[in-house]
Chains A and B, each alone.
Chain A
């Protein structure tokens, strides 16, 4: 149980385009979802926390207009990278947790390359 999927797993796009990444909890209801960014050989950095039906809470230094997060249902959160640039190239990982539980379950990640 507690499976989280992400789609797509790989995306290559041109500079200036927008990219949407989906995060789904497959067998549980995720009241809270988190979005992380990981650069090569580095740790995970939290970008934002989203609760179902509420606006996301962004970490300091993360541009909310650049990284749009929507958590419209208990099984789906999306991260949209707007007007992507090469410096946005990274590995994006989501995690999800259930109401009343503290453990976060992670998706397999999405590798974004902006040319």
Chain B
């Protein structure tokens, strides 16, 4: 079974600053995906970024980037130029890769509540 650990229950960052959210996972699989989802107060889950484990290059989406360390089973999220709209709960999630390409279940971490302040 896979486990995902987010060791920072809450974090705070000032607007325009950079913040890094930590995530570690445990799996015996070699082919998988990792995701960061954001859940703002509306509670709508929003995909922030995804990473395929077979790719060495770290994924980047505008102000969001990841540091994927496969050997260490670490997958941190860096948010640059933080904005007030980034205030949300952030969940790290793991998914096994199926060779049919279809989705399998997501295993979520416990989440990190990020507060962006003025």
Give CA–CA (A7, B53) in the complex, Å.
35
* Residues of chain A from 29 to 63 with CB closer than 8 A to chain B in the complex: 31-32, 34, 38, 42-44, 46, 49
Q: Which residues on B sit within 8 Å (CB–CB) of A101?
A: 101-103
How many of B's residues come within 8 Å of A, CB to CB?
26
B110 at the A interface (CB under 8 A): yes
Q: Is the interface of A mostly helix, strand, loop or mixed?
A: strand
A104 touches B103 (CB 8 A): yes
Nearest-CB distance from B19 to chain A (Å)?
20
Q: Which residues on B sit within 8 Å (CB–CB) of A43?
A: 91, 108-111
Identify the stretch in B22-30, B41-49, B59-67, B76-84 within 8 Å (CB) of chain A at 4 or more residues.
B41-49
Question: Which residues of B approach A to under 8 Å, CB–CB?
Answer: 33, 35, 37, 42-47, 50, 91, 95, 97-98, 100-111
Question: Which residues of A approach B to under 8 Å, CB–CB?
Answer: 31-32, 34, 38, 42-44, 46, 49, 91, 93, 95, 97, 99-106, 108-109
